[in-house]
Amino acid sequence: MVTLHVTFIDKDGAEHSFEVAAGDNLMDIAQAEDLEMEGACGGSCACSTCHVIVDDPDKYDAMPEPSDDENDMLDLAFGLTETSRLGCQVKMAKEIDGVKIRLPSMTRNLQAADFKGAKKS
């Protein structure tokens, strides 16, 4: 098994580095390590609570392009940047070994169900 490395920068600026396996997604890693990342939809790309910011533009460019669904959810994220992604959609791979991921200062819990034909009472 190939060991990869990821560093999360929390809301207070503290760095947390971990050895992870290829194929692990950032949301699962953060939650397994008790970092503050909600993931309200359980990783189904239906909310923006696992929003992360990739600190290195070169590592961001090495990631597969976000899907249309991910881009739709990112539009709802608080503090969106040019290198924002959803943690549930980014899988660790050798191309992004050593990536630094910044956790935003806050999240917004808006889900796709809040918009797609949801009836207001």
The pLDDT assigned to 107 comes to 57
The pLDDT assigned to 31 comes to 96
pLDDT tens-digit readout, 63-110: 999 999 999 999 999 899 999 999 999 999 999 999 999 999 865 554
What residue segments make up the domains of the chain, in order of their start? Answer: 12-108
Neighbours of 99 (CB within 10 A): 24
Phi-psi domain of 117 (left: phi exceeds 0; alpha: psi -120 through 50; beta: other): left
Q: Work out the pLDDT band at 8, boundaries 50, 70, 90.
A: very high
Q: For residue 8, which of 17, 78, 20, 59 has the smallest C-alpha distance?
A: 17
The pLDDT assigned to 108 comes to 53
pLDDT tens-digit readout, 19-69: 999 999 999 999 999 999 988 999 999 999 999 999 999 999 999 999 999
Q: Which CATH architecture has domain 12-108?
A: Roll (3.10)
The pLDDT assigned to 115 comes to 44
